Amino acid sequence: MEYKILPVGSMGTNCYLAWCPDTKEALVIDPGFEPQKILREIESLGLKVKYIINTHGHMDHIGGNQELHLALKAPIAISSEDAGMLTDPSLNLSGMVGNPISSPAPQHLLAEGDSIDFGDCSLQVLATPGHTPGGISLYGHGVLFSGDTLFKQSIGRGDLPGGNHNQLIASIKTKLLPLPGETKVLPGHGPDSSLAQEAASNPWL
Ligand SMILES: [Zn+2]
In the reported structure, the alpha carbon of residue 151 is separated from the centroid of ligand 1 by a whole-number distance in angstroms of 12
The secondary structure of 114-142, three-state, reads: CEEEECCEEEEEEECCCCCCCCEEEEECC
C-alpha 100/C-alpha 65 separation (Å) is 14
pLDDT value at position 131? Answer: 98
Collapse the DSSP code of 113 into the 3-class scheme (helix H, G, I; strand E, B; otherwise coil) and give the result.
coil
Residue 177: phi and psi, rounded to 5, are -65, -25
What's residue 116's pLDDT? 98
CA of 61 to the centre of ligand 1 (A): 7
Spacing, Cα 131 to ligand 1 middle (Å): 7
More confident residue, 10 or 75: 75
pLDDT (0 to 100) of residue 96 = 85
pLDDT for 184 equals: 98
User: How remote is the CA of residue 166 from the centroid of ligand 1, in Å?
Assistant: 16
Q: Are 168 and 176 in contact, with CB atoms under 8 Å apart?
A: no
The rounded Å distance from CA 23 to ligand 1 centre is: 31
152 pLDDT above the threshold of 90:
yes
Predicted pLDDT of residue 97: 82
As a whole number of angstroms, the longest Cα–Cα distance in the chain is: 43
The residue extents of the domains of the chain are 2-201
**How do residues 74-122 score in pLDDT, each as one tens digit?**
999 999 999 999 999 999 999 888 889 999 999 999 999 999 999 999 9
Confirm if 6 and 29 have CB atoms less than 8 A apart.
Answer: no
Distance (angstroms) between ligand 1 centre and the Cα of 148 equals: 5
Between the CA of 55 and the centroid of ligand 1 the distance, in Å, is: 9
Q: Are strands 184-187 and 193-194 parallel, antiparallel or unpaired?
A: antiparallel
- The CATH fold assigned to 2-201 is Metallo-beta-lactamase; Chain A (3.60.15)
Distance 62 CA to ligand 1 centre (A): 10
Calculate Rg over the CA atoms of the chain: 16
Ligand 1 center to 46 CA (angstroms): 29
Ligand 1 centre to CA of 51 (Å) is 20
Cα(163) to centroid(ligand 1), Å:
10
pLDDT at 24: 98
